[in-house]
Amino acid sequence: MKVAVVGATGLVGTVMLKVLEERNFPLTELIPVASEKSVGKEITFKGKKFPIVSMDTAISMKPDIALFSAGGNTSLEHAPRFKEAGATVIDNSSAWRMDPAIKLIVPEVNAHELSIDNKIIANPNCSTIQMVVVLKPLHDKYKIKRVVVSTYQSVTGTGVKAVEQLMNERKGIDGPKAYPYEIDLNVLPHIDIFTDNGYTKEEMKMVKETNKIMSDDSIKVTATTVRIPVMGGHSESVNIEFENDFDLAEVRSILEKAPGVIVVDDVANLKYPMPKDAHEKDEVFVGRIRRDESAPKALNLWIVADNLRKGAATNAVQIAEYLVQKELV
Ligand code: 2RA
């Protein structure tokens, strides 16, 4: 199994390599791909050195799977080229997510949709992934009418420049800016660009991607996505209104059994999910499970996950693992 990692030197690409190694993905050859300036440099994978190659060289090596995290424009240009060369592409950008011909996959929710014909597969937005992993088992049991979500997103979601801005500000050092304002000791209710309806693209991703992944356009979603000065992962306050009433103990039991979910909910002992604890983990952590006393059949949750892992790299690798297990590659 030849695996290319396109964007191998980026924040998510680096984590993809780490996750492939940690999960002992059954690859026989690794093909790290990055921009021309990185070609020739080496990365170490499982104690072995691999040269970073160009896009054209990687295509000529005919990978079986190509994990992309190199931005939408690069994916739009080169994913079809890898497909033509016989690879199955799993792309972490937003380029293909809303294309009706392209599957948008969170393995715990809709991996069953995949077939051997899917040669470009879209990895959803990080803040969507962690939410739908929790929504799915509850939707199956109680049928979700509406979701109101507010996010508290790590600067790592923006990239290296944002992390550097935060760290510089904390040291009182001036430097390159990823944001229009200071991020340290601040929050920005602004992720990605604003759209005509007053939402940001990040918020509309959560709305539209949730309906596509859950295969249910009847689920009403509204989102406010916020950037906070945190490293370890994204947090989300989620209010869910169901068609059918629920028993709180049963909700907790369903979540405790749900694939990819870890319940951390013991407020008497101050146990609840936090980004510091989710950092470098592959699961989605849920806590603060409580009935919304202001509305019938409504539930409040607090959901935390490492946005670079389950929110990006691990979800992509899990899709690749599914393809291998089901012999779809
Ligand atoms: C963010 N979800 O957090 C977006 C892209 N990673 O910035």
User: Domain 127-154+187-305, what fold?
Assistant: Dihydrodipicolinate Reductase; domain 2 (3.30.360)
Q: What is the ipTM of this complex?
A: 0.97
**Cα 126 to ligand 1 centroid, rounded to whole Å:** 6
Q: Are 289 and 81 in contact (CB under 8 A)?
A: no
| Angstrom distance (rounded) from CA 315 to CA 32 | 19
The answer to whether the Cα torsion of 297, 208, 272, 226 is positive or negative is negative
Q: Which atom of ligand 1 is nearest to the CA of 127?
A: 2
pLDDT band at 90 (very low <50, low <70, confident <90, very high): very high
- 144-153/220-227 β-pairing: parallel
pLDDT band at 16 (very low <50, low <70, confident <90, very high): very high
- DSSP assignment of 177-209: -SSSS--TT--BS--S-B-TTS-BHHHHHHHHH
pTM score, whole prediction:
0.98
Q: Are 68 and 123 in contact (CB under 8 A)?
A: no
Q: How confident is the model over 56-69, as pLDDT tens digits?
A: 999 999 999 999 99
**Coil, strand, or helix at residue 219?**
coil
Q: How confident is the model over 280-307, as pLDDT tens digits?
A: 999 999 999 999 999 999 999 999 999 9
10 marked among binding-site residues = yes
**Cα 226 to ligand 1 centroid, rounded to whole Å:** 10
Note the pLDDT of residue 280: 97
Q: Which atom of ligand 1 is nearest to the CA of 153?
A: 3
Atom 1 of ligand 1 has which residue's CA nearest to it? Answer: 157
Note the pLDDT of residue 167: 98
12 marked among binding-site residues = yes
Q: Which atom of ligand 1 is nearest to the CA of 191?
A: 7
| Angstrom distance (rounded) from CA 75 to CA 78 | 5
Whole-number average pLDDT of the chain? 98
38 marked among binding-site residues = yes
CATH 3.40.50.300 holds for 2-123+312-326? no
Of residues 24, 22, 45, 9, the one with CA closest to residue 280: 22
* φ, ψ of residue 220 in degrees (nearest 5): -90, 130
CA distances from 97 to 6, 73, 208, 314, 318 (A): 18, 13, 9, 17, 17
Terminal CA-CA length for the chain: 9
- DSSP assignment of 45-66: ETTEEEE-B-HHHHHHT--SEE
- 29-33/2-6 β-pairing: parallel
**Cα 155 to ligand 1 centroid, rounded to whole Å:** 8
- 298-305/65-68 β-pairing: unpaired
Q: Please report, as a single letter, which amino acid is at residue 171.
A: K
Beta carbon of 123 within 6 Å of any ligand 1 atom = no
Alpha helix (H) ranges present in the chain?
Answer: 11-22, 55-60, 72-84, 107-110, 126-142, 160-171, 201-213, 248-257, 275-278, 314-325
Beta carbon of 7 within 6 Å of any ligand 1 atom = no
Active site residues: 126, 234
Ligand 1 pocket test: which of 69, 153, 200 has the largest number of ligand atoms within 8 Å of its C-beta?
Answer: 153
Beta carbon of 230 within 6 Å of any ligand 1 atom = no
pLDDT band at 155 (very low <50, low <70, confident <90, very high): very high
Burial of 30 (0-12, 13-18, 19+ CB in 10 A): buried
Atom 4 of ligand 1 has which residue's CA nearest to it? Answer: 157
Note the pLDDT of residue 80: 98
Query: Residues near 24 by Cβ (< 8 Å), separated by ≥ 6?
Result: none
- Mean pLDDT (whole number) for 314-325: 98
Q: How confident is the model over 236-264, as pLDDT tens digits?
A: 999 999 999 999 999 999 999 999 999 99
**Cα 146 to ligand 1 centroid, rounded to whole Å:** 23
Atom 5 of ligand 1 has which residue's CA nearest to it? Answer: 157
- Would you kindly state where each structural domain of the chain is located, as residue ranges? 2-123+312-326, 127-154+187-305
Q: Which atom of ligand 1 is nearest to the CA of 312?
A: 6
**Cα 40 to ligand 1 centroid, rounded to whole Å:** 29
288 marked among binding-site residues = no
Note the pLDDT of residue 297: 98
pLDDT band at 123 (very low <50, low <70, confident <90, very high): very high
3-state helix, strand, coil in the chain (%, to 5): 35, 25, 40
